[in-house]
Amino acid sequence: MSNLFRIACLLLFFSHLAVETQAQKISSAKKIESLLRKTNLDVVDACIKLVIRDTLADRDFGGFSAVIVSSDGTILTAAHSVQPTHRYRVEFPNGQKGVAVALGKIALDAGNKQFDLAMLKMEGKGAWPFVTMADNRNLVVGEGCLAISYPGSFFQTKPNLRFGRLTSLDAGDGFMESTCKMEPGDSGGGLFDLRGKLIGIRDNVKISEDKNFDIPVNLFRQYWSALQKPINYRQLPVAQPLPPVVPSKRFTVAPPAHFSQWGLKFLNQVTTLHSTKGNAQQNILATAINLGQKDLPSVLWLSKSSMLGEQPWMTDNGVKIPLNILSRDPENDLVLLSRAGRMNDFQGVKIGENEIQTTKF
């Protein structure tokens, strides 16, 4: 299923490229891919998972994401996952483990803004891998960004990567907004610009998957001294002034017309799947793919396993069409489905015969 995971990432990548922007800095998909690869290699070692441990019951009962921002082990994350003075197991992408203690926490509404800031500190001697923080005042709408975090549904030791674009630098409530998707477990993870600088901490997602909100790193700067004290603040502490702005190079993502055409082509191969989870109906998008192999249906459907329940179906000209689940891949959170008969509106995104081995389904 690893090949299917790469395909899903490719489809998501091009769907993001279809979004228009007025700025036009990067027009090459290869350039974007190169920046994403370099950003990931530069920062991923400092992107950690924090595990909540019940020592009396000798079990783990939750986890969330975080980012180390200094060589002495200062950690930033979202406050709604943290309690001051509590200790958390730290898991690094390379398998290394450690312990961090929670320091300050600011989780409150003040005026028109919501605050969800927390700081921790690694125990033991460094030097620890860390990332550099950007200045949010330099950001521009439309620039590319990369989210690195540990979504709970994936159950994997390495973080997940999501490419997107900044859609709002100030959502009006203290957050900024991007198209990098979120789900439970992503909270506290890092949002990076394409230079590998930390621009935000992942916080929350609305009912719509297009509404993803991050805490600007400049808020952590403003309350840095307060967060170093192990206090759960009930009112907003005194803020520190931000240093003067130092301009920096930005990478806005504005693909040329042929990328937009690719994106529209993929969008035309997307439909909604319906299913049942518990007593509620679940709806999730799926992409039609065509493997070009004689022993498989001409069109299969690829979607998100954790969001697809039992007895899935789709509609074709108002007619309910049942679907068969061929395989689920929990590690990559993918599900592969088929249906009886043909759908003239869907030919499937063609995938070369040599790219996927059917024995892995």
Residue pLDDT, tens place only, 56-83:
666 666 788 999 999 999 999 999 889 9
pLDDT of residue 315: 84
Task: Give 287's pLDDT tier (boundaries 50, 70, 90).
Answer: confident
Specify the CATH number of the domain 258-360: 2.40.10.10
Confidence at 264, pLDDT banded by 50, 70, 90: low
Q: Could you tell me the pLDDT band of residue 181, with boundaries at 50, 70 and 90?
A: confident
> Does the pLDDT at position 25 exceed 60?
no
Q: What would the mean pLDDT of 120-148 be, rounded to a whole number?
A: 93
Whether 10 has a pLDDT exceeding 50, the answer reads: no
Q: What is the model's pLDDT at position 50?
A: 92
- Please report the pLDDT score of residue 261 as a whole number: 56
Q: What share of the chain is helix, strand, coil (3-state, %, to 5)?
A: 20, 40, 40
Q: What stretch of H or E contains 50?
A: strand 47-54
At 179 the pLDDT is 86
The CATH class of the 23-233 domain is mainly beta
pLDDT of residue 295: 63
Domain boundaries, the chain: 23-233, 258-360
Same topology for domains 23-233 and 258-360, yes or no? Answer: yes
Res 226: pLDDT: 97
Determine the pLDDT at residue 23.
40
- Mean pLDDT, range 233-261, rounded to an integer: 79
